[in-house]
Structure 1
C-alpha cells in the first residue's frame, strides 16, 4: 500500500481537515475519522482507547502506522509495540520492549534482570513511571499490534493501565486479529473496555468504491468490471487485493487504454497463490533462509538466523537484501520482521510438518545452550516436542517453574502442554501435574486444578501425594467448600510422616476453614494446642492459630485480644517464617476488624498492604478480595458511590479470574446499597443473583453479614416475617449475636426495632443484652456504647439513650437513624416542647440521610416531618446543582483537586484509599458535571474555582 507520505499527513492534519481517503489508504474514511478525532482531542489534553480488530490483511497494522505518523507530525510522543508468538510466554514483553524502544528507562532488579517479583511489580511501577513521565510532557500515542499474541499478564496490565491513565492525554491503540489467541479472554477484555468508553473499530472488507480507488491508484487507470471482479478473488481484502494487482500488472495482465484498465487473460490465480508465487520468484537460497526465519517467528534476530543456518552473518547479506527488495521482510528496530502475517504464514506453510517441527527443535536447543531464561526455548519446544521427548519436556518444566510466580497463567499453559506430551506411564507426569495444579489454583481455575489433582493423587508417591492433598484442600477452601477443605486437611494431618512445611499449610487450612464455618470453639481448642507447642509447629501453623484465636476473641467480644492476636500473626508473617501466600489474609482480617470499629484509615491501610502482597505474589485467585473488603469500608463510612464502585470492581475481577464464588459477596453489598437508595428493584435483582451464585455464604466476611443483608432486603420489601425467619438463629444464639453486632454494627438497633415491630420483645431484649455486654467489655471503643444506647433506647423508649446515640455514633447512617427514632418517640408525647425537639431530630435524620445518599430513608424522614406539618424539599433539588463546580460532592472535589494537581489515577487512589477503578468512576462523573473531557480543562476550572488553595 506504500509508505505514509507527506501528502497523507497533510490530509489528516488540522482540526478543520476531513480528507480521510488517499492513495495507500482507501475505504476507511469513517474509521480514520474516529481515530483522528481522538488524536485531535489528545492535543487539548483528552485521552482515550481505540480497539482495532479484523481478519489478517484487512488493514489493522496500516491504521496503526497512519495514526503513528500523524501523531508524530502533530508533536505526540509515540510508543509502538507489537506482540508475537513468543510474547505468549513472556510476561509484559510487548509493553516493556515498546517503552524501551521509545527511550524510556525501566527499573530492573539489582543484577539488572527483573526477577519474578520484579516482573509482577512492572504492572504498577516499572511501566507506570515511564508512562507518567511521557504524558507529563504532552500527548502520547501508544500502539500495540497483534495483542492476540499477548500473554495474560500483559492483558491485565493493559486493562489496569488504561484505567490508571484515563483522562490523561494518552491515546491507546490496541489491534488484534479476530479469533486469534485466547479469543474468549480478548473478547471479554475488548467488551469491557468498550463499555467503559473505548472506541471499537471492526475493519471489514473494502466496499466497491474503495476497491475501484485502490485499483486506480495502482494502475493509474479506472478499472473495467472484469478488473473490479478481482476483488471477489481477493475477498476485498486490501493486502491480498494489492498483492494480486501488482503481480498481474508485473506479468502484463492488464490492458490500459483511454484511461481504462481491463484484463488481458481470463486465467486468474487465487489471491493466496499470488503470495506464494511471489516467494517462488526468489532465489532458492533466499527461500530457504526465509523458511528458517519463519520458524524463528514473525520477527527474528539476524544473529539467531545465522546461527540456525550455520553461516556467517556476512554471507546472509545478499539473501536478506533480496528478501527486503521483494517486500517480504523489513527492518523493525534491532530485528527483522515479515512485512505481514500473511507473508509469514505463506512462508511457514511451504514447510512440511516434519521439517517445521525439526527446525523448531533446533531453535529450542540453540536457545537452551545459551543459558539464561528457558522461556524463549520453550516457545519453540512447545511446537516440536513429541511424547517422551525428555530434553524438551525438562525445558518446559524449567520454563513453567520460572514464571510460576510472575505469570501463573503462562506457567499453567506450559505445564499443561508438558502434560499432554508426557506418556501416561511416565513417573514425571505426576510431578508436572503438581506444577499445573499450583498454577491453575493461583489463577483461579479451581475446577481444572481439582480435576487434575485427583488422578495425580492416585499415582503420586507419598511425598508428592501429600503436596497434592494440601493443594486440594486449598482448592476446596477457595471454592467455597470449607467443610470439605477441613476434611481433606484433617486426613493429611493424620499422617505421621507429613513434612513440617506441609503440616503447617494443612493446619492453616483447617483454621481458615473453621473460621469460614463459624466453628470457633473447635478452632479455639486446636489453636491453643498449637500455641502451647510453638516449637513443634511451623510459622504458617502458628499464624493460622493466631487468626483463629483472633476470630474467637471477636466472637467473645474481646476486641483488644483480637487485635493482639492479629498483630502477633503479622509479626510472624513479616519474619519470613510463613508461606507467602498466607500473609494477605492476616492483613485483610486486620482491615476487617478496623472497619468494624469505624477506624477507616487504618482499615484502608491494612487492605492496601494486602493488595500489594497479592499483586507482588501474582496470586490472582485472591485479586478480587481487596476491592470487596474495601467496599465494606466505604459502605461503613457512608460513601455509597465508592462502595458500589469497589464492589463492581471486585466482581469484575472475580469474573475475569474465574473466582465466581466472590461475586456473591459483591452482590450482597450492592443489594444493601440499593435498599439504602430506595431502589428496591435493584435490591431484588441483586439478591436473586446472589442466591444463584456458587460458593458458600460467608466466604469473606462470615455468614452474619450476608444473613443480615438478606433480612434487610426482605424487611424493605415488606416481608417482616421472612426477615425474622432469616435472623431467627441470631436472636437465639449468644455467639451469633455478638459476631453479628461486631461485624455489622448497625444491626443492634435494626434487629431491636424489627423484633419490637414483630411483637417479640424477648428477642429485642436479647439483642440489647448482647449490645450492653459488648459495650462493657470494650470501653475503649465508643462504637459499642453508642450502638448499645440506640438499641436500649428503642427497647425502653428512652429519649436520653437515643439522643446519646444520635450525637455519638461514629457512623453517619446510624446517627441519622438514632435521630429519626428519637423524633418518632418525641412525636408521640404530645407536648409542645417535645414537638419542636421531634422536628429538630427528624431534620437531623433527614439531612444525615441525604448527605450519604440514603434516599429511601430520607423519604421516610420527610414523610414523618410532613405528618407534623413541616415540609422539606428533596435536598438534592434544593441544595445541590446538577452541573458545575458546586454540583460536585466532597469526594469528587477531592479527586478533582488531586487530578488537577497532576496526579495519576493510581496515585489519587493511593492517597484517598480507593481503587483506580473507583477514581476513574468519579472522574467520569466530574467530567460530565463540568461538561469537560480532559485533565487540562479540569486544571483550568480548578484554578478558577479554588484560587485560595494556591495562595
Structure 2
C-alpha cells in the first residue's frame, strides 16, 4: 500500500465513533455502565464528574447518553452557560424541553420541572445529564440539591459535570460535597496517560501513530476534548500521512503557538474567522439574527461565511441556533480574541439587546462582562435589569447590582440607588451579613431622605437575622422623622409590628394597630396587614382564637389582591398554620404551610426557605410522627445555617431536642439544647418561645431537676398573657405544667394553669378541642378520673392521649380495690401502646415501671413487636406510603393524598428501602402486590 494523507480519505472511523471516549476511562465507565444497567430494574443514582477544562467531561456525558439510549432509557441532557446564568433554572428547563423560564415565573417553573421529572421517570427509566454545572444559576443549584434527594426512589440517573476553577466554584463545590455525603458517586477525570493517548490517536486516525504524531498529540496535555479537536483539525489540513498502517506528520515540526487554534482555524478565510470570533462572544450556541445585529450586517451577507464555517466543521446547526461543534473549538475561538476586543464585543452585544427592547436581563449578561468603570450606558442597562428581576429573581438582581457597584464609585449619582437595590436583593436571597454591611456603608454617605429607605431595609435584615430588638430601634428611628414618604412609613411600621411579634411582646403595639385599622384609608395595605397580623397574635394572647382567625383571613384577603408587601403573604399563612395546628386541625395546618412554601418559592424569597420545614416539624410532632418531625427540623436547620437566619436555627434545635426527649435519648437532647444556646439570636423568634422553653424545661426535668424546669417556665406560670399563648399554641403543656408544678410543691402554679385552661375553654366555644387539654390538667390537679377519662377519649394528639391514659392509670392504681387495679392496668396498657406506637421510648419505659409495680410485666415493644428490618418493621405511615407508591402515584401525588410534603414522602421511601433491603419502586411494588395486595385497593 502506498502512502496517502488523511485528508484524502476523510473520516477513518475504523474503530467506531464511541471508542475514543472510553480510552483510559475504564473505572469511570464501569460506574456509568452499572448505573445504566440498574435503571431498567428501577434503580437510580447520582454521578458527579469534575475536572479541568478539556479533560473529556462533555464527551463522557454525550457517550453515556448514547449508551443509555441504546439500553432503552429515556435520555434528557442540558448544559449551563455563562450567558444564560442570569435566567433561573435555564439548564434544567432546556434539558427537559420546557419553555425558557422568565425570572417572574421561577417559582412555578421549579414545580413544573419536578412534576415533569416525576412523570418521565415514572413512565420510563431516565438518564438526565447536566454539563457545565459551574455556570448554573443559584436556583438550579438549590433545585439539584433537593431534587436528587426527593426523587431518589425513581429510576432516575443523574450525571452532573463541572469544570474545576470556573464559575461559582465555592457554591458548586459545596453542592457536590453535599450530594457526595448523601450517597452520590464522585469522580475526578485525570489527564490520559501516554498509552491511552496513543489509543485515542489510533482510534481517531485509523492507524498506529509514529512518535512525531504522539509528540504533537502531547500538546493537548492528555485532555481528550482538546486532543480529538486537534487531531480533527490536523487531519483536515492534510498534514498527517498514512502508510503501512502507521501515521506520521508531513511537516517535520508544527509551530506550537498554532497547534491547537491555528490547526483548527487556519484554513478559514479572514472574514469567516472574524465572524466566528464575534459569534463566540455570543456563546457556544448563538442565534444567526443576534450575530447579524451585532455585526451590523444583513443576514444574507453573512451566509457565505456561515456556510464556510459549517463546511469546515467548526459550527453546526442545532434546532433554531448554530453551535460550535466542539467546546474546545469555542474556547479556542474566544481565547484568540484579545481581552479588550472581547470586552468591547460583550458591551456591543449588550447594547444591541437593549435596543431591541423587552427584558434587560439577556443584555445584562453581556454588560456584566463588557462594561468598563464609569460606562454610563452599560450601568443604566445593569440598573434596569436589576430592578426588573428584584421581586422575582433576587439572586440575579444581586449579581447585576453588585457588578454595577464595582463599575461605579460613591461619587456616581446612581451609586446609592444601586446599593439600595443590592441590599434588598441580598436580603431576599439570605446573604444577610453582606446586605447589612452594604446598608451601613451606604448609610454613611446617604442624604437624610435616602437614609430612611436604607434604615427600613436594615430593619428587615436585622429582623431576619434574629435581632428583633435592633429591628425596633431602626424602625422607630424612621417613624420618628417628619415627612417620611408613605411607602417608607409603611415599611417601617410593618417591621415594627413584625419585630414585636417575633419578640413575643406584641402588647406595646396594640393601640397603634387599632389606630391603623380605625383609619385604614390613611395607610398602605402593608401597614394594615402588619396591624392585622399583630392583632391576630394578640387575640391568641387574649385567649380568643376566633378573633385571631378573623384577623388572619382578612390579612390574607388584602395580600391576595397584591397591594401589600409580597413577604407578608407567607408570613400570614404560617400564622394561620400555627392556629390550625393549635386547634388540632392538622390537614388545614399542612395546607397553610404548603401554600406558604409555594409562595416563598414563587417570590424567590430564599431567606424564608427554612420556615415551612420548621412549621411542619411542629405539626409532625403534634401528630406523633417523630421521624418526620426530626427530618423536617433538620432540613430547616440546614437551610437556616446556610442562610444565617439564626432564629430558625434556634427553633430547629429546640424541636430536635423535644424529639430526642420523646425517644429517650438524653445525650442527643443535651447536644441540641447546647446548640440552641450557642446561637446568637433573640429567643422566641418565629413564634417559637413556647417550643424553646418547653424543650429546655423538659430536658431539665428529665435530668432530675424539676425545680430548674419550673424556673425556666416561670414567665408562663406567672404572666397571664404568656400563659394563655402557651396553652393555646402548645395545648399539651397544660397537663405537663400542672404535673410539674404539683411535683415541685407549687400548688398555686398548678391551680393557675388549670384556671387559665378552664377560662380558655369557656371563651372559645367554637373550638371544643381546647376543653380537652383543660380536662386533662383539671383531672391531674383534682384527681378527677372522669375528667381524665374524657381527655383520653377526646384527645386527638397521640402523645397527649397516651399521657392522659397514663395519668388515669396512675390515679386508679393508687385507689383500693381490684376493679380499680384492673382499670389501671387497662389504661396503662393503652398508654404503653400509644407511646410505643409513636416511638416515645422514655415515656414507654416509665409506664412499664408503673405496670411492674402492679405486678404486670410487659416486654420491650421495640424488640418484640417491631423488628429492625422487614415489612413488620415499617410504621403505619411507611406502609401507607408504600401502598400509594405501589399504586403508581408519584411522590407529589402521594404527598397530597397524605397531607405531607414531597420531601417527607421521599424520606419515608428511603427508610422503607433500607428496611426492606431494596433499591427501587419496582421492587417495592412487587412486594406489595405479592404480600400485601390489600394496600392496592385503598
Fold-level similarity (TM above 0.5): yes
CA drift of 1:246 comes to: 6.8
Quote the residue 2:653 is aligned against.
667
* Match 2:28 to one of 28, 31, 35: 31
Deviates more, 1:760-769 or 1:710-719: 760-769
Tell me if the contact between 1:234 and 1:271 (Cα under 8 Å) persists in the aligned partners. Answer: no
**Is 1:741 the equivalent of 2:738?**
no
CA separation of 1:190/1:824 partners in 2, compared to 1, >3 Å: closer, same or farther?
A: same
Deviations 1:594-642 (A, max 9, x none): 1112111111122122222222222111121111111111111111122
Quote the residue 1:946 is aligned against.
933
* Match 1:120 to one of 94, 107, 112: 107
For residues 692 and 226 of structure 1, the distance between their equivalents in structure 2, rounded to whole angstroms, comes to 66
Quote the residue 1:17 is aligned against.
none
* Match 2:536 to one of 543, 550, 554: 550
Deviates more, 1:22-31 or 1:823-832: 823-832
CA drift of 1:838 comes to: 2.3
Deviations 1:197-240 (A, max 9, x none): 33323222224543443344356666789987878764432234
Quote the residue 1:110 is aligned against.
none
Q: What is the CA RMSD across the aligned residues, in angstroms?
A: 3.1
Deviations 1:532-560 (A, max 9, x none): 22222222222222222222221122222
Tell me if the contact between 2:535 and 2:551 (Cα under 8 Å) persists in the aligned partners. Answer: yes
**Is 1:654 the equivalent of 2:664?**
no
Deviates more, 1:158-167 or 1:377-386: 158-167
CA drift of 1:247 comes to: 7.4
Deviates more, 1:326-335 or 1:668-677: 326-335
CA separation of 1:218/1:573 partners in 2, compared to 1, >3 Å: closer, same or farther?
A: closer
CA separation of 1:254/1:562 partners in 2, compared to 1, >3 Å: closer, same or farther?
A: closer
Deviations 1:17-47 (A, max 9, x none): xxxx944421212212222222222223333
For residues 74 and 247 of structure 1, the distance between their equivalents in structure 2, rounded to whole angstroms, comes to 33
- Give secondary structure in 2 for the equivalent of 1:866: helix
Deviations 1:131-177 (A, max 9, x none): 44533542222222112112112223333443453323332222111
CA drift of 1:438 comes to: 1.4
CA separation of 1:364/1:117 partners in 2, compared to 1, >3 Å: closer, same or farther?
A: closer
CA separation of 1:226/1:723 partners in 2, compared to 1, >3 Å: closer, same or farther?
A: farther
Deviates more, 1:189-198 or 1:250-259: 250-259
Tell me if the contact between 1:76 and 1:138 (Cα under 8 Å) persists in the aligned partners. Answer: yes
Deviates more, 1:420-429 or 1:206-215: 206-215
Tell me if the contact between 1:230 and 1:241 (Cα under 8 Å) persists in the aligned partners. Answer: no
Tell me if the contact between 2:122 and 2:890 (Cα under 8 Å) persists in the aligned partners. Answer: no
* Match 1:870 to one of 845, 853, 856: 856
Deviations 1:689-746 (A, max 9, x none): 2222232211112422211111112222333343233223332222222222222222
Tell me if the contact between 2:234 and 2:263 (Cα under 8 Å) persists in the aligned partners. Answer: no
Deviations 1:83-140 (A, max 9, x none): 211121112222333333xxx6x5xxxxxx9665433311112x34544453354222
CA drift of 1:455 comes to: 3.0
Quote the residue 1:308 is aligned against.
294
CA drift of 1:439 comes to: 0.9
**Is 1:477 the equivalent of 2:469?**
no
User: What are structure 1's unaligned runs of at least 5 residues?
Assistant: 10-20, 107-112
**Is 1:592 the equivalent of 2:571?**
no
Tell me if the contact between 1:164 and 1:904 (Cα under 8 Å) persists in the aligned partners. Answer: no
CA separation of 1:250/1:304 partners in 2, compared to 1, >3 Å: closer, same or farther?
A: closer
Quote the residue 1:169 is aligned against.
155
Quote the residue 2:437 is aligned against.
451
Tell me if the contact between 2:93 and 2:101 (Cα under 8 Å) persists in the aligned partners. Answer: no
For residues 673 and 771 of structure 1, the distance between their equivalents in structure 2, rounded to whole angstroms, comes to 25
Deviations 1:901-942 (A, max 9, x none): 332222322332222221111111222333332223333333
* Match 1:239 to one of 199, 219, 225: 225
* Match 1:504 to one of 459, 481, 490: 490
CA separation of 1:24/1:584 partners in 2, compared to 1, >3 Å: closer, same or farther?
A: closer
CA drift of 1:250 comes to: 8.7
Tell me if the contact between 2:544 and 2:764 (Cα under 8 Å) persists in the aligned partners. Answer: yes
Quote the residue 1:56 is aligned against.
53
For residues 865 and 395 of structure 1, the distance between their equivalents in structure 2, rounded to whole angstroms, comes to 76
For residues 863 and 918 of structure 1, the distance between their equivalents in structure 2, rounded to whole angstroms, comes to 34
* Match 1:728 to one of 714, 719, 727: 714
Q: How does 1:197-216 map to 2 (within 5 A)?
A: 197-207=183-193, 209-216=195-202
CA separation of 1:73/1:218 partners in 2, compared to 1, >3 Å: closer, same or farther?
A: closer
Quote the residue 1:414 is aligned against.
400
Quote the residue 1:343 is aligned against.
329
- Give secondary structure in 1 for the equivalent of 2:828: helix
Deviations 1:624-669 (A, max 9, x none): 1111111111111111122112212222332444434412211111
CA separation of 1:886/1:336 partners in 2, compared to 1, >3 Å: closer, same or farther?
A: same
For residues 856 and 27 of structure 2, the distance between their equivalents in structure 1, rounded to whole angstroms, comes to 59
* Match 1:45 to one of 31, 38, 42: 42
CA drift of 1:416 comes to: 0.8
CA separation of 1:863/1:888 partners in 2, compared to 1, >3 Å: closer, same or farther?
A: same
CA separation of 1:657/1:3 partners in 2, compared to 1, >3 Å: closer, same or farther?
A: farther
Tell me if the contact between 1:48 and 1:167 (Cα under 8 Å) persists in the aligned partners. Answer: no
- Give secondary structure in 2 for the equivalent of 1:53: strand
Quote the residue 2:742 is aligned against.
756
* Match 2:64 to one of 67, 90, 99: 67
**Is 1:90 the equivalent of 2:76?**
no
CA separation of 1:37/1:5 partners in 2, compared to 1, >3 Å: closer, same or farther?
A: farther
- Give secondary structure in 2 for the equivalent of 1:856: helix
Tell me if the contact between 1:646 and 1:915 (Cα under 8 Å) persists in the aligned partners. Answer: no
For residues 600 and 280 of structure 2, the distance between their equivalents in structure 1, rounded to whole angstroms, comes to 39
* Match 1:80 to one of 77, 80, 98: 77
Quote the residue 1:14 is aligned against.
none
For residues 605 and 51 of structure 1, the distance between their equivalents in structure 2, rounded to whole angstroms, comes to 36
For residues 246 and 317 of structure 1, the distance between their equivalents in structure 2, rounded to whole angstroms, comes to 24
How many aligned residue pairs are there?
928
For residues 842 and 211 of structure 2, the distance between their equivalents in structure 1, rounded to whole angstroms, comes to 69
* Match 2:166 to one of 175, 180, 184: 180
Q: How does 1:237-316 map to 2 (within 5 A)?
A: 237-242=223-228, 273-280=259-266, 282-316=268-302
CA separation of 1:801/1:865 partners in 2, compared to 1, >3 Å: closer, same or farther?
A: same
* Match 2:554 to one of 552, 558, 568: 568
Quote the residue 1:776 is aligned against.
762
Tell me if the contact between 1:4 and 1:69 (Cα under 8 Å) persists in the aligned partners. Answer: no
Quote the residue 2:6 is aligned against.
none
Tell me if the contact between 2:280 and 2:334 (Cα under 8 Å) persists in the aligned partners. Answer: yes
CA separation of 1:528/1:309 partners in 2, compared to 1, >3 Å: closer, same or farther?
A: closer
Quote the residue 2:7 is aligned against.
none
CA separation of 1:800/1:7 partners in 2, compared to 1, >3 Å: closer, same or farther?
A: farther
CA drift of 1:765 comes to: 3.0
Deviations 1:554-575 (A, max 9, x none): 1122222222222222233234
**Is 1:189 the equivalent of 2:175?**
yes
- Give secondary structure in 2 for the equivalent of 1:337: strand
**Is 1:611 the equivalent of 2:633?**
no
Quote the residue 1:15 is aligned against.
none
CA drift of 1:478 comes to: 1.1
Quote the residue 2:426 is aligned against.
440
CA separation of 1:807/1:335 partners in 2, compared to 1, >3 Å: closer, same or farther?
A: same
- Give secondary structure in 1 for the equivalent of 2:96: helix
For residues 914 and 51 of structure 1, the distance between their equivalents in structure 2, rounded to whole angstroms, comes to 30
- Give secondary structure in 2 for the equivalent of 1:839: helix
For residues 728 and 597 of structure 1, the distance between their equivalents in structure 2, rounded to whole angstroms, comes to 25
Quote the residue 1:381 is aligned against.
367
Tell me if the contact between 1:664 and 1:690 (Cα under 8 Å) persists in the aligned partners. Answer: yes
**Is 1:823 the equivalent of 2:812?**
no
- Give secondary structure in 2 for the equivalent of 1:43: helix
Deviates more, 1:324-333 or 1:583-592: 324-333
